[in-house]
Amino acid sequence: MSKYIIGVDLGGTNMRAGVVSVTGKILFKKSLPTVSSADISDRIGDLIAEVILAQNIKNDEVVGVGIGVPGPIDHKNGSVLSPNLPQLSGLPIVEILERITGFSINLENDANAATYGEFWLGAGRDCRSLVMATLGTGIGGGIIFNGELVRGIDWTAGELGHVNVDSGAGARLCGCGARGCIETYASAISTERRFVEELERGRESELSSMDKNKITCVDIFEAYKDGDSLAVETINETGRMLGILCSSMANLLNPEKFIFSGGITNEWDILSKLIIDEFNKRVLTIPGQRMQILRAELENDAGLIGAAGCALKTYETSQ
């Protein structure tokens, strides 16, 4: 009998589910908009049933369902505390979905799921320890030590975005309420914000004539390539801050790899050089020589594959 896992990546806008082989190959996947109503669990159940039907596999060939969700997992209650998905937050989703689907449900924080995906089959394969940071609206992350996700006692570990890199009184204010979190400097959104703030202070740039609300990192990188001095400064600072984060993590955890994901890594040639230059200037010798700084490989599938991988691991451990 063949074995499959269903991976689900639950986002604020879309939910995606896929049938995944035990080797991590996505055999079929489908995406639906995430509904805002409380029947979100029904929709997840429907989507799971749909991908199983479409791939034409039997229910008893499914060894488990892994779901990556935004927000900290309440492992005890099988729920998630998600400000991004208020319709799901606090719902005993594991119990509900186990009842609806009949499958064993494995919840994982989405950033941890993506980290596990990269560890299993992406840029982190063939190693036993890594740190991953996803650069988007904020900076999410995950840590693998000895082949295991470091979840922390409350399953909240891996909040790389809220590692401090500026203790000064004038440090940037983070959404979490603290000042100086790396997220407020080096996420994609923070990079855009820093750029726009300088425009608002009257700095000149080839992007000056653009609608400030529409300037994205794609535009800033284009200006960077043109040698636009504000764009160069802005991107350099993003790279420098990420290099500092890499150095702190190498010194602290001595992992084999540091992996970056997120749309901003499309400009990996530029970004990686800046990160690595700063990293090399700072890091201690032995962990610095060891740690590779790499771009993620699984792109948008990391979360789905990783959620399935975590469910597979739970299944294998239980056997």
Residue closer to a second copy by CB (options 183, 301) is 183
At residue 147, φ and ψ (nearest 5 deg) are 75, 5
Query: Quick one: tokens of 89?
Result: 């937050």
C-alpha span between 3 and 17 (Å, rounded): 17
Instruction: Give me the least distance between CB of 154 and a second copy, in Å please.
Output: 5
Query: Quick one: tokens of 283?
Result: 């890091």
> How open is the CA angle 33-297-144, to the nearest 5 degrees?
95
* Cβ-count burial 260-269 (b if 16+ within 10 Å, e if not): bbbebbebee
Residue closer to a second copy by CB (options 86, 102) is 86
Helix-helix angle 110-121:302-318, to 10 degrees: 80
Residue closer to a second copy by CB (options 48, 133) is 133
Residue closer to a second copy by CB (options 100, 276) is 276
Which residues would be at the binding site for a second copy (CB under 8 A)? 72, 81, 128-129, 143, 145-146, 148, 150-160, 162-168, 176-180, 185, 240-241, 244, 247-248, 251-256, 281-284, 286-287, 290
Residue closer to a second copy by CB (options 108, 159) is 159
Instruction: Give me the least distance between CB of 155 and a second copy, in Å please.
Output: 7
The total of other beta-carbon atoms located within 10 Å of residue 30's CB is: 15
Place of tokens 């004038």: 170
At residue 283, φ and ψ (nearest 5 deg) are -70, 150
Instruction: Give me the least distance between CB of 1 and a second copy, in Å please.
Output: 33
**What CA dihedral angle connects 206, 210, 213 and 219, to 10 degrees?**
-50
Residue closer to a second copy by CB (options 34, 112) is 112
Instruction: Give me the least distance between CB of 43 and a second copy, in Å please.
Output: 27
Question: CA torsion sign, 140 to 144 to 145 to 148?
Answer: positive
Instruction: Give me the least distance between CB of 12 and a second copy, in Å please.
Output: 19
Instruction: Give me the least distance between CB of 56 and a second copy, in Å please.
Output: 40
At residue 79, φ and ψ (nearest 5 deg) are -135, 175
Residue closer to a second copy by CB (options 127, 199) is 127
Instruction: Give me the least distance between CB of 250 and a second copy, in Å please.
Output: 9
**CA 55 from chain center: how many Å?**
27
